[in-house]
Chains A and B, each alone.
Chain A
Amino acid sequence: MNRRFAVGDGVRVRVAEPPGHVRTPHYCRGRIGVVIECLGAFANPERLAYRHTGSAPVPLYRVRFRNAELWPSQHAGIDETEIEIFEHWLEPAPAATHA
């Protein structure tokens, strides 16, 4: 399987608000996290939602965000949130910014 990202890579979630069934939570869009696990490749739920079953599987990653990154006005602590995100929602981000 061809994966664009590896464990430890910094990633930014795309800022997009398309119509249709999307499994990337709105609150993480535009935020920077780090890939902590490659989970394999799965049929794209955005396609399955309309019964388009023929498309290639998409790599899925577990991405860890600092809560201070997700909710800067409310979280200054060390808590983190992990979200499973499909590859087409992720872009490379500078590693330094998610340390």
Chain B
Amino acid sequence: MKRVHDLGGDAAGPIDRSEPPREHWEKEVEAIWRLLARKKGVLADELRRGIEDLGAGDYERLGYFERWAASLARIAIERDIVTIEELGRELERGDPAGADGGK
């Protein structure tokens, strides 16, 4: 069966080509990705694998950078860069800066 991320060639209807400015949290996700790549050797294909393995529900529900964040979190746990407990506690605490409404 075709996997959920493999959209090429599907009927798409009209495509929204606008490019809204990046939100702050989206830039942070990209920064985390670059840090993990440079400091921990995380590979682009690992990031993609993590996104593709989110499952149909999460893949379709999450936005582009939310998928990145979800994939990077899994990879960081797999690689023991962060523990589940550390990540859980940070998520519990929320974003202290409240940079963009806690997204």
Contact = CB atoms under 8 A, between A and B. Distances in A.
Contact of B45 (A27, A49, A70, A71): A49
SS of A interface (majority): loop
B46 interface: yes
Contacts of A17: 1-3
A30 interface: no
Interface string A56-99: 00000000000000110000000000000000000000000000
B9 A49 contact: no
Interface in A25-48: 25-27, 45, 48
A60 to B, nearest CB: 14
Contact residues of B: prevailing secondary structure? loop
A48 B6 contact: no
A50 B1 CA distance: 21
Given A17-B1, A17-B2, A26-B2, A49 B8 contact: no
Interface string B3-20: 100101100000000000
A20 B49 contact: yes
A71 B9 contact: yes
Interface band, chain B: 10 to 19
A20 B49 CA distance: 7
A21 B6 contact: no
A70 B46 CA distance: 29
Contact of A21 (B2, B8, B9, B49): B49
23 contacts: A17-B3, A20-B49, A21-B45, A21-B52, A25-B6, A25-B8, A25-B9, A26-B2, A26-B3, A26-B6, A26-B9, A45-B45, A45-B48, A48-B45, A48-B46, A49-B43, A49-B46, A49-B49, A51-B43, A51-B46, A53-B43, A70-B9, A71-B9
